[in-house]
Each structure stands twice: as C-alpha cells, then as structure tokens.
Amino acid sequence: MLSIAPPEDTESLDEADALELWDGVGAVRLLRRDDSRRAILMERARPGTDISRLPDEEAMAIAVEVGLQLWRPADAPFRWIGDEVPRWLDNARRDGRPGSELIPIASERYAALGPIGRDTLIHGDFHHHNVLDAGGRYVAIDAKAMLGEPEFDVPPFLWNAAPYRMRPDVTERRIAAFVAAGLREERIRAWAVIRGAYLGAEPDEVEVLRALV
C-alpha cells in the first residue's frame, strides 16, 4: 500500500518514523520510505476489515490490545501534544465550530491536567476505522503520531464508530475497558472533553461529554 502525503498535511509528518519504531507490532509494517516525496510503502492488511462491525465488547478488547502495543517509549523526532493542544483549542474557539461550547470547561480541564506525558509514542487518530484485521493479528493504520500519554488516544473510541451516536452507558463501558488495562480514568475523561471541544461535537454528544467530568 503506497501513501503519499501532500505538503500541507502536517498531521502525518512523523508517520514513517512511527511505523519504523513499531516494526509491524500493533501497526502495519513499513516496507520502504522516501522522505523527500513524503512517500511510504506499507504492508497491505488482508482482509483489511476494520473493527467497527464487531460486537462492542470484542472491538474494545482488540483496541486495548493494539493500543498497548503502540504506546511505547519514544523521543525525537516526534512532536509533543503539549505544544499543539492550546493552539487547537484556540482555533476551535475562534471558528465557533459545533461543540465549541465545551471550550471553557475543556480549557479548565487542560489546565488541571498538570504535567502531560512527553515520552510515550501515541497514535493520534486511534479509532475503530483505523484498526484492521491483518489475518491473525490486528494492526493500526493512518497514524498521526506524537509524544503524549495513552489516555489521549482513547476519546475517539468513545464517539465512534459511524453512525453510532454517544450514549452514557456505552461511553462508561468503553472507558472501563481501557481503565482495566491500566490507563488513568480521570485523564481519559478530561481528554474526552478537551478533544471533543476542538474536534467538534453535536449537541447530544456535548451533553454526554459534559457528564464525564
């Protein structure tokens, strides 16, 4: 599978480095790279079906297993989420996108987080549609790799997979699956509100997110 990122795509800037570090464990295997062209040749996952159609409990178990493989120590050249999140929140505040009413509480939660991890590689866009069956193992694709903490990666699993709409009971069950694997519940909840604020949320999702903190 060949991927060529356009110059304006800064989110996937370090994808090749992440794939190289993961080396086929938890993610598709990197075969070749051409940094001058932002080109990556990757293993093609076969059959390549994502986990969105699986029963929720099974999908969450797979997500946790894959996440635990991806979240590993790293440093340069990866960027740190702490350098980006304030800007993302400011952009959302300025744009007034759906869910921007969460910005005040998201800003408070972000300030209350205290020191944010900066020595763990995270996927950055970790959700049902980016975890594929590769025949005998499940792998992640489409990484927006950065340095941070595993809890940052959990929120997209709380509001996916399309066309699912957030429900309090399902949200709590999904949080519990990651907490059982050793992640910190209070930080999952905080990141859910923070990321929901800048990524965008519909009115019904806003109410579920408000109730998390």
Please give the model's pTM, rounded to 2 decimal places.
Answer: 0.95
* Structural domain count, the chain: 1
With respect to residue 19, please indicate whether it lies within any of the assigned structural domains: no
With respect to residue 5, please indicate whether it lies within any of the assigned structural domains: no
Q: What would the pLDDT profile of 168-193 be if each residue is shown by its tens digit? A: 999 999 999 999 999 999 999 999 99
Structural domain harbouring 171: 48-210
Residue-wise burial string across 22-52, b where 16 or more C-beta atoms lie within 10 A, e elsewhere? beeebbbbbeebeeeebebbbbebeeeebbb
With respect to residue 163, please indicate whether it lies within any of the assigned structural domains: yes
Is pLDDT above 90 for 158?
Answer: yes
Is pLDDT above 90 for 125?
Answer: yes
Q: What would the pLDDT profile of 95-113 be if each residue is shown by its tens digit? A: 888 888 999 999 999 999 9
With respect to residue 34, please indicate whether it lies within any of the assigned structural domains: no
pLDDT at 212: 95
Q: What would the pLDDT profile of 38-86 be if each residue is shown by its tens digit? A: 999 999 999 999 999 999 999 999 999 999 999 999 999 999 999 999 9
pLDDT at 9: 85
